[in-house]
Structure 1
Amino acid sequence: MRFRHADAIWSDHPRLAAGALHATGVGPVADVGPRVAEYTARARARLAGASEGRFPEVLAWRRVFASMGLKPTQYRCASESLLRRLRKEGTLPRIHPVVDLCNAVSVAYAVPVAVLDADRVTGPLLEVRHARGDEEYTTFGGATEHPAPGEVTYADSAGRAHARRWTNRQSGHSAVGEHTRRILVVAEAVHDGGADTVAEMLDTIARDLTAHWGTTPATALLTASTREFALGDEPPSGARTP
C-alpha cells in the first residue's frame, strides 16, 4: 500500500511538512507509562507559560482551517484538542499503548499525529485529498457520515474516509485496537520549521516503538518532491530506519 498527499494539497498548502511511519508486530501490552509521563510533562511545562492557542504550531493549523472555511475554535486540529484536554483535565485518556504514546508525542511537539490500523485500510492507495462527498466515514460510535465535497480527508481505494476535516478527527473504522498488529503513523505540520519538527517526532516514535515492541519501523519525510511512502513488511526503498 502507498500513502501520499494529493498534488492539490501540496499546491494549496506549500508549508506542509509530513512524515509517515510503518511498523509491524505491535500489540496491546506494553508499559509506555514512563514515556507518556515524560512527554506530557514537557507539554504541561509549555502550557504553564501560554495556552495552546498561542503555540505557533497550533496557530499555523488554525490558519489552515480558516483557509478551508472552517471556524478554527469549532474544529480544532488533533494536537490542539489534546493539549486543551491536558490543560483542563491534567491528563490524557488511556486508550492503547501505541495510541497513548503517539498522543503524548503529539502534545509534546504540538503537532497532529494520526495512528491507523494499516490492516483496516484498503489499498493500494491511501491519499490525503479533497473529498468527492460519497466517501464513507465511520464515527467511533459506529455511525456513518459523508465528508462534505471539498473537505480534506484520508481516503482509501475503497472510498472509505479515515479522517474528517484533515487533522480534526480520525475514523473509528481504522482505530488501533487490541487486534492491531500493523500501524501507519502520520505526523503533519504547517508551521515554520515544521520539517525539522516532524523529523524529530518520527525518530522519537520509532525509537519508542523499537524499545517497547522490538519492531524496526520504516519512516520517511514527505515533501513536494518526495510525496509517496510505500508500506511493506520490509523498509521500503528510500525509507529511513532508526
Structure 2
Amino acid sequence: MPEPIVLEQVLDGGRVDAAVFALCPDYRAVLLAVDGLVPGPSDEAGEELLRTAEAAARRALDDRPVERLPHVAAWREVYRAFGAKPQRTRNSLEALLRRAASGLPRVNRLTDLYNAVSVLHQIPLGGEDLARYRGAPRLLRATGEEPFDTVAGGEAVIEHPEPGEVVWCDEAGVTCRRWNWRQGRRTQLREDTTTALFVLDALHPVTDEALHAAAEDLAAHLERLGPDVRIARRLFTAGTTFDQGD
C-alpha cells in the first residue's frame, strides 16, 4: 500500500530555481496541494462555472485581441525570453481564451474547475495528480535531457525540452513544458483523482492581491468537492530562490 501523501511536505520540498527568477524577477506562483477530493466526470456545477468563464472571456475580448490582454502579453514576452515562439506555443491562459468563443473544453470535474478559474482571473493555472507525482515540484531551466511523457500522432511518446526551456518537474521528469504550455500525460488529472497539485502563475501587471484572490476562488470551489477536502498552500517569489542542483 503506498505511503499517504503529506501535503505540507510536498510544498515544503518545492523549488523555483534562481535561474528562473534571473530570467523573470517578478514571477510569482501559488501552489495548492489538495486531498480528500471526491473524483468524477464533468458535472453541472462545473458546466455553470465554465459558462460564466466563457461569458467573461467574450467581454474581455470585445474590444481587443487576446494578445493585447495585459497578462497574456506579459507571458508572450517571457516565452520569447527563453526562446519559445508564442505564436506557435501559447501559454495556457491564451490558449483557453482563444477557445472561449467556441466553447471551453469539458474534460472532468477538476480540470473543468481550474480551467474556468484560470479564465475568470486571467491567470495561467495547471493541475497535477499527486498520486502519480514523484517527490516535490520544481521549476527550472531544462538541460534538455529531462523526459516528458506525452502523446504525438495518437501514440504515447517520450520527448525532451529544449535546453534552457523553463519547465515544471518532479523526480521522474517534466510535468509541464514551457512554464505553462503543455502538461504531461503521466500526472494529468483524471476522473479518479483524489489528491492534486495546482499551480497558479503570475507576472506583472497581476498584483499579489489578484493572485491570492484567484487562489482563494480555486480553493473555495475545491472545498465543495467533498466533506473531507484539505488544502495546503505555498507562495513562491524571488525571495525563495534555489540554485539548480540544491
TM-score, length basis structure 2: 0.85
Counterpart for residue 70 of structure 2: 56
Counterpart for residue 196 of structure 1: 209
Letter of the 2:217 counterpart? T
SS of corresponding position for 1:185: strand
Counterpart for residue 105 of structure 1: 117
Q: Quick one: distance in 2 between partners of 1:96 and 1:204? A: 18
Q: Quick one: distance in 1 between partners of 2:29 and 2:241? A: 9
SS of corresponding position for 1:142: strand
Counterpart for residue 96 of structure 1: 108
Contact 1:3 1:127 in 2 (8 A): yes
Q: Quick one: distance in 1 between partners of 2:192 and 2:143? A: 31
1:212 aligns with 2:238: no
Q: From 142, 145, 161, give the equivalent of 1:147.
A: 161
Counterpart for residue 128 of structure 1: 139
Q: Quick one: distance in 1 between partners of 2:110 and 2:14? A: 20
Contact 1:15 1:192 in 2 (8 A): no
1:67 aligns with 2:91: no
Counterpart for residue 117 of structure 1: 129
Contact 1:163 1:171 in 2 (8 A): yes
Give CA-to-partner distance per residue, 1:212-241, whole Å, 9 cap, x none: 33313222222122469xxxxxxxxxxxxx
Letter of the 1:49 counterpart? D
Contact 2:129 2:189 in 1 (8 A): yes
Q: Superposed, which structure 2 residues align to 1:33-52 within 5 Å? A: 33-52=47-66
Q: CA deviation at 1:3?
A: 2.1
Q: Quick one: distance in 2 between partners of 1:42 and 1:173? A: 32
Contact 2:126 2:200 in 1 (8 A): yes
Deviates more, 1:42-51 or 1:5-14: 42-51
Q: From 171, 183, 199, give the equivalent of 1:186.
A: 199
Letter of the 1:20 counterpart? L
Counterpart for residue 175 of structure 1: 188
SS of corresponding position for 2:137: strand
Q: Quick one: distance in 2 between partners of 1:3 and 1:194? A: 22
Q: From 80, 85, 88, give the equivalent of 2:99.
A: 85
Contact 2:34 2:230 in 1 (8 A): yes
Q: Quick one: distance in 2 between partners of 1:7 and 1:119? A: 28
Q: Quick one: distance in 2 between partners of 1:74 and 1:33? A: 29
Total equivalences in the alignment: 224
Q: Quick one: distance in 1 between partners of 2:64 and 2:225? A: 33
Counterpart for residue 148 of structure 2: 137
Contact 1:17 1:194 in 2 (8 A): no
Q: Percent identity?
A: 32
SS of corresponding position for 1:225: coil
Tell me, which stretches of 5 or more residues in structure 2 are unaligned?
1-9
SS of corresponding position for 1:217: strand
Q: CA deviation at 1:32?
A: 2.1
Tell me, which stretches of 5 or more residues in structure 1 are unaligned?
229-242
Counterpart for residue 232 of structure 1: none
Counterpart for residue 236 of structure 1: none
Q: 1:64 to 1:99 in 2, by over 3 A?
A: same
